[in-house]
Structure 1
Amino acid sequence: MQTSPDVQAPPRSARDVVLPMLFIGLLFFILGFATWLNGSLIPFLKIVCDLNNFQALWVTFAFYIAYTVMALPAAAVLGRIGYKNGMTAGLGIMAIGALLFIPAARSSYYGIFLLALFTLATGMTLMQTAINPYIVCIGSRESAAMRISIMGLFNKGAGIVVPLVFSALILSGVDQFSDSALAALDAAGREAARAELSARLVYPYAVMAAGLLVIMIIIHFSSLPEIALDDEPAKGGDELTRFGVFQFPQVVLGALALFAYVGVEVIAGDTIGLYGHNLGVANFAVLTSYTMGFMVLGYCLGVALIPKLMAQKTALLLSATSGIIFTFGVATSSATDTGISQLLLGWAGVPAVPNTVMFLALLGLANALVWPSIWPLALEGLGKYTAAGSALLIMGIAGGALLPMLYGRISDASGAQAGYWLLLPCYALILFYALVGHKLRRWK
Structure 2
Amino acid sequence: MNTVKAATVDAVTMNKNVELVPRALLIPFVLITCCFALWGFANDITNPMVAAFQKIFLTGAAEATWVQVAFYAGYGAMALPAALFIRRFSYKAGILVGLGLYATGGLLFVPASMVGEFYPFLLAYFVLTCGLSFLETTANPYVLSMGPVESATRRLNLAQAFNPIGSLIGMYTASQFILAKLDARGKSARELLSAQEFDAVKRADLEIVSHPYVMIGLVIAVMFVLIALMKMPNHKAPNTMDVTLKAIFYRLRNSKKYVEGVIAQVFYVGAQIMCWTFIIHYGTEVFTAQGMAEKDAQVLSQQYNIVAMIIFCVSRFVCTFLLKFIPPGMLLLTLAAGGMALSLGTILIGGVTGLYCLVAISACMSLMFPTIYGIALKGMTGDDAKFAAAGLIMAIVGGTFLPMLQASVIDGWSLEMLSPVQASFVLPFLCFVLIAIYGYRTVKIHDT
TM range (shorter): 0.7 to 0.9
Distance in 2 between the 1:428 and 1:191 partners?
A: 45
Distance in 2 between the 1:367 and 1:172 partners?
A: 28
The structure 1 residue matched to 2:378, chosen from 377, 380, 384, is 380
The structure 2 residue matched to 1:20, chosen from 21, 28, 34, is 28
1:34-73 matches, within 5 Å, as 34-73=42-81
1:154 matched to 2:174? no
- 2:56/2:202 contact within 8 Å kept: yes
Q: Unmatched 5+ residue regions in structure 2?
A: 1-18, 289-296, 414-419
Distance in 2 between the 1:356 and 1:47 partners?
A: 25
Corresponding residue number in structure 2 for 1:348: none
Corresponding residue number in structure 2 for 1:365: 363
Distance in 1 between the 2:331 and 2:119 partners?
A: 40
Paired AA for residue 242 in structure 2: D
Query: Structure 1 residues 175, 386: closer, same or farther in 2, change over 3 A?
Result: same
1:290 matched to 2:307? yes
The structure 2 residue matched to 1:198, chosen from 182, 190, 206, is 206
What does the per-residue CA deviation read over 1:227-268, in whole Å, with 9 as the maximum and x for residues that have no partner? 22335x4xxx43434222212221111100000100001111
- 2:22/2:146 contact within 8 Å kept: no
SS of the aligned residue for 2:108 comes to helix
SS of the aligned residue for 1:37 comes to helix
What does the per-residue CA deviation read over 1:108-146, in whole Å, with 9 as the maximum and x for residues that have no partner? 211111111111000110110011111122233443333
- 1:146/1:302 contact within 8 Å kept: no
Corresponding residue number in structure 2 for 1:302: 319
1:37-436 matches, within 5 Å, as 37-174=45-182, 176-230=184-238, 233=240, 237-242=241-246, 243-244=249-250, 245-279=252-286, 280=288, 281=297, 283-307=300-324, 309-335=325-351, 354-384=352-382, 385-414=384-413, 415-436=420-441
- 1:144/1:372 contact within 8 Å kept: no
- 2:20/2:154 contact within 8 Å kept: no
SS of the aligned residue for 1:310 comes to coil
- 2:41/2:168 contact within 8 Å kept: no
Paired AA for residue 346 in structure 2: V
Paired AA for residue 323 in structure 2: I
- 2:264/2:438 contact within 8 Å kept: yes
Q: Unmatched 5+ residue regions in structure 1?
A: 1-10, 336-353
Deviation of residue 334 (structure 1)? 2.5
Deviation of residue 150 (structure 1)? 2.2
RMSD: 2.1
Distance in 1 between the 2:439 and 2:191 partners?
A: 50
Distance in 2 between the 1:258 and 1:152 partners?
A: 15
Q: Which runs of 4+ in 1 moved over 6 A?
A: none
Distance in 2 between the 1:54 and 1:71 partners?
A: 26
Deviation of residue 167 (structure 1)? 2.6
Distance in 2 between the 1:12 and 1:368 partners?
A: 20
Query: Structure 1 residues 322, 17: closer, same or farther in 2, change over 3 A?
Result: farther
Aligned residues: 409
